[in-house]
């Protein structure tokens, strides 16, 4: 599965309203619920927060890639959110996160989330890619980065 195929217009939020880490995670999960990708918000939320307790998914450079594997996930999907003001996420570099990629995968999926994490991380290592995403004002501009 190509990374770009895990995104959809319905799952790209170019203006997160969240003010903190938990609000950001909840806002992204709500998008997955609304899009029918998860059937039990609380179960999936617990999976994501359990992963966050182990180690923050704020990887630095303004990026956070929270993820969860759960039976509540109907189909593997990624939801993207952007925060212009930035959110304190407990990132490795202690800087606010601006770009959020929440990866949701079914419990019985093999390594889909690892492949997605790897592909996203490789893309985002490049400053021009991060800038293009930060400056995107619609889905078409956003997804072009992943084509």
Q: Which of 67, 98, 113, 126 is catalytic?
A: 67
Q: State pTM to two decimals.
A: 0.94
Tokens describing residue 66: 């929270």
- Would you kindly state where each structural domain of the chain is located, as residue ranges? 3-145
Instruction: Report CA-CA distances (Å) from 101 to 48, 135.
Output: 12, 16
Residue 90 backbone class (left: φ over 0; alpha: ψ -120 to 50; beta: rest): left
CATH for 3-145 (3.40.50.620, 3.40.50.880, 3.40.930.10, 3.40.50.720):
3.40.930.10
Q: Answer yes or no: 67 catalytic.
A: yes
Q: What is the pLDDT of residue 112?
A: 73
Q: What whole-number distance in Å separates Cα of residue 35 and Cα of residue 55?
A: 28
Q: What is the pLDDT of residue 114?
A: 75
Q: What is the pLDDT of residue 109?
A: 82
Q: Strand, coil or helix: what is 22?
A: helix
Counting beta carbons within 10 angstroms of the beta carbon of residue 68, is it exposed (0 to 12), middle (13 to 18) or buried (19 or more)? buried
Q: What is the pLDDT of residue 3?
A: 79
pLDDT tens by residue, the chain, 147 residues: 677 888 999 999 999 999 999 999 999 999 999 999 999 999 999 999 999 999 899 999 999 999 999 999 999 999 999 999 999 999 999 999 999 999 999 998 877 777 877 888 889 999 999 999 999 999 999 999 988
């Amino acid at each position: 599965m190509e990374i770009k195929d895990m995104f959809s217009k319905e799952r790209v939020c170019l203006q997160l309203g969240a003010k903190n880490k938990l609000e950001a995670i909840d806002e992204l999960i709500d998008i997955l619920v609304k899009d029918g990708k998860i059937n039990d918000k609380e179960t999936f939320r617990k999976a994501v927060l359990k992963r966050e307790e182990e180690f923050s998914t704020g990887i630095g450079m303004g990026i956070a890639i929270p993820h969860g594997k759960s039976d509540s996930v109907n189909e593997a999907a990624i939801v993207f959110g952007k925060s212009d003001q930035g959110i304190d996420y407990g990132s490795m570099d202690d800087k606010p996160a601006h770009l959020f990629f929440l990866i949701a995968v079914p419990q019985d999926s093999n390594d889909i989330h690892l492949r997605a994490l790897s592909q996203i991380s490789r893309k985002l290592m490049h400053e021009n890619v991060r800038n293009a995403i930060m400056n995107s004002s619609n889905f078409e501009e956003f997804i072009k980065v992943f084509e």
